[in-house]
Structure 1
Amino acid sequence: MTRAWSLPLLFLLCGSALAGAVLGESPGRAAAILPVFVLLAVAHSPLVFPRSVPVEEARRLSAVDGRPIVFWRPGCRYCLRLRARLGRDARRLHWVDIWRDPAGAAEVRAVNDGDETVPTVFVAGRPYVNPDPRWVRTRLSPPE
């Protein structure tokens, strides 16, 4: 859990330190710097992703509704790209945070030669590593 928030906290600390360093010289610059780092922190936090579920629950739900399972981790720019490009459709996938779920991390390592390469998307039981977001969208069932 702590690891998922390490990068966002680092962005906030660095942004605060940088803004504090230039505050005396240029308050306007400090006021512009801090929001940039806050946005970076939010973008790399678990907050921008749909609720993560344990891998067992994701498998069970996927078996029922046929929706793909996405294995991801906070701070991954490719996961962020997938999430952003899917837009609202991202809620129609089952998301497993491999930093919160050791079984999910083990599953990703099993299909990626021991590496935790994310995003790894499982569609009908087959893994696809860092697939194109348009391709993932075509694999979604029609909206309910």
Structure 2
Amino acid sequence: MTFTMFTTPWCGYCHRLKGQLDREGIPFEIVDIEREPDAALTVEQANGGNQTVPTLLFADGSTQTNPSLAQVKDKLAALAS
């Protein structure tokens, strides 16, 4: 099961999480909120009006903001069960 990571090119937290997910072989989609204004609105809705990245959007509609790798793995496991 995949999810979407909303990010910006300059976000250090985003780069760190992307690297961790890649090393674990966890698939995900990346959306740059600076290039897609609609995506920025999605991030704002999830974060009380703030464009905080990384924000992850899962298949069930839930989100995580700046999660740890463990939090992402836990969420994916919960969605798979």
Tell me, yes or no, whether TM beats 0.5: yes
Aligned residues: 76
The aligned residue for residue 66 of structure 2 is 130
**5+ long unaligned stretches in structure 2:** none
C-alpha separation in 2, matches of 1:126 and 1:116 = 16
If asked which structure has higher relative contact order (CA below 8 Å, sep 6+), I would say: 2
In percent, how many aligned pairs have the same letter?
Answer: 34
1:73 Cα deviation from its structure 2 partner:
0.7
The TM-score with structure 1 as length reference comes to 0.47
Q: Quick check: 1:101 aligned with 2:32?
A: no
CA displacement, residues 119-142 of structure 1 (integer Å, 9 cap, x when unaligned) = 001122101111111332441789
Give 1 or 2: higher strand fraction: 2
1:76 Cα deviation from its structure 2 partner:
0.4
The equivalences for 1:4-19 within 5 A come to none
Give 1 or 2: higher helix fraction: 1
The 8 Å contact of residues 86 and 137 in structure 1, kept in 2 or not, is answered as: no
